[in-house]
Amino acid sequence: MTIKSNSDLLQGNAAVELAATSLSVVIPARNEAAGLRTILPKIAELLGNAEVIVVDDGSSDDSAAVCAEFRVKMLRHQYPMGNGAAIKSGARAATGDVIVFMDADGQHRPEDIPRLVEELNQGYDMVVGARGKGSQANVHRGVANKLYNKLASWMVDQEIADLTSGFRAVRADKFRQFLYLLPNGFSYPTTITMSFFRAGYAVAYVPIHAPKRIGTSHMRLARDGIRFLLIIFKIGTLYSPLKLFFPISMAFLATGLGYYAYTFFAFHRFTNMSALLLITAILVFLIGLISEQITLLLYKDGG
């Protein structure tokens, strides 16, 4: 698909595309009053007939007052439950056949929504806004996202341009099939992306530019490091556990055989360490095999 650079022409064509689509826009927000004040008027101007749902995840600012100024449906969590929990609340309440998820911090531009929906209308089940160079908040997050993308691409044998982008358009019925799998935290994009690939649904990526966020980020460096490790294992266990566990098992096996060869020729004995490494190789392989069967059960209805 050729992406048009003329924004006026794109917005004009968007009316035709969106007219045939029942559209809901879900915006999770926690203390994002400034961002909502910026994006809600643009959404109203661009997508006048779309259902707009703001999920207030326990905000302590005047987010509710900002939403009251516009024609939006507001859902409120009594306390902060997490970005993923807000996404799930919004997805359950949405009435559109297509749901667009976007952040309230100004990093996702309403002008890009027609591009996502237009691509979705080409026969895809989910279209993700893929952030380009200069769109990452900082260097360490940009490096982490590149690692996420490489690992996920290896797992699914397809190019994944942006695994963690929260800006996406999805077919509502297919998205709701995986609500029970989505975590309440920030890693919902990873989970839903791998779930769609695992179920054999068509996923596309549209390049976007994400401006600097409005306000203060809820992400923290130390927590991001732990989150990175968790996402690595989540990717593996969600899509094909054996593809992750088998190389680890082979590494233990090779180390165990190598150490056994060393001790046999050097000391003519089979050591406890060799036995431990070989047993670990078997156990890791069996864990991967069992996880693979559990994964098949998880996706038996979606696939």
Whether residue 303 is contained in a domain is answered as: no
CA atoms within 13 A on the CB side of 155: 28
Q: Give the model's pLDDT for residue 217.
A: 57
pLDDT digits (tens, 9 = 90+) for 55-71: 999 999 999 999 999 98
Per-residue pLDDT at 15: 46
Q: What is the pLDDT of residues 238-296, one digit of tens each?
A: 888 999 899 999 999 999 999 999 999 999 999 999 999 999 999 999 999 999 998 88
Q: pLDDT averaged over the chain?
A: 86
How many distinct structural domains can be found in the chain?
2
Tell me whether residue 39 is in a domain: yes
Are 156 and 13 contained in the same domain? Answer: yes
pLDDT for 216: 62
Residue 1 belongs to some domain of the structure: no
Do residues 161 and 270 share a domain? no
pLDDT at 235 over 90: no
pLDDT score, position 16: 40
Q: Residue 123 has what pLDDT?
A: 95
Classify residue 46: in a domain, yes or no. yes
246 with 211, same domain: the answer is no
Same domain? For 165 and 23 the reply is yes
How confident is residue 4, by pLDDT bands cut at 50, 70 and 90? very low
- Most trustworthy range by pLDDT among 50-54, 184-188, 207-211: 50-54
Judgement on whether residues 105 and 211 belong to the same structural domain of the protein: yes
- Do 58 and 198 lie in one domain? The reply is yes
- Copy the structure tokens of residue 290: 């069992």
Q: Are residues 20 and 125 in the same domain?
A: yes
Percent of the chain's residues with pLDDT above 90: 58
Q: Do 266 and 151 belong together in one domain? A: no
Mean pLDDT of 22-48: 93
Q: Nearest Cα to 165, choosing from 119, 114, 218, 126?
A: 126
Q: Could you give the CA distance from residue 237 to residue 231 in angstroms, rounded to a whole number? A: 10
Average pLDDT in the 3-20 region?
Answer: 44
| Any domain includes 40 | yes
Contact (CB, 8 A) for 208 and 129: yes
Q: Which residues contact 110 (CB under 8 A, 6 or more apart)?
A: 39, 42, 43, 46, 47, 102
**Residue 137 confidence (pLDDT) above 60:** no
- pLDDT value for 140: 67
Instruction: Say yes or no to pLDDT of 1 above 50.
Output: no
Q: Do residues 294 and 177 share a domain?
A: no
Mean pLDDT check: name the lowest of 160-164, 202-206, 245-249.
160-164
pLDDT-derived band at 186 (thresholds 50, 70, 90) equals: confident
Residues 44-67 as b or e (16 or more Cβ within 10 Å = b): eebbeebbbbbbbbebebebeebb
58 and 130 share a domain?
Answer: yes
Q: Report yes or no on 291 lying in a domain.
A: yes
Q: What is the pLDDT of residue 145?
A: 81
User: Alpha-carbon distance 29 to 35, whole Å?
Assistant: 9
pLDDT: is 135 or 168 the higher one?
A: 168
Q: Is the pLDDT of residue 154 over 60?
A: yes
Q: What is the pLDDT of residues 75-132, one digit of tens each?
A: 999 999 999 999 999 999 999 999 999 999 889 999 999 999 999 999 999 999 998 7
Q: What is the CATH number of the domain that holds 136?
A: 3.90.550.10
Q: Decide the pairing of beta strands 51-57 and 73-77.
A: parallel
Asked if residue 160 lies in contact with residue 147, where contact means CB atoms within 8 angstroms, the answer is: no
Q: Are residues 194 and 290 located together in one domain of the fold?
A: no
Domain range for residue 285? 241-298
Q: What is the pLDDT of residue 221?
A: 52
> Is the pLDDT at 10 greater than 50, yes or no?
no
Instruction: Summarize the confidence of residues 183-192 as an average pLDDT.
Output: 87
In a domain, 232, yes or no: no
In the predicted structure, residue 157 carries a pLDDT above the cut 50: yes
Last residue of a domain, one of 219, 251, 283: 219
Q: Is residue 229 part of a domain?
A: no
Averaged pLDDT, 40-62:
92
Whether residue 12 has pLDDT greater than 70 = no
Q: How does residue 138 score in pLDDT terms, banded at 50, 70 and 90? A: low
Letter for the amino acid at 84?
G
Residues 137 and 64 in one domain: yes
CA-closest candidate to residue 117, choices 103, 106, 127, 132 = 127
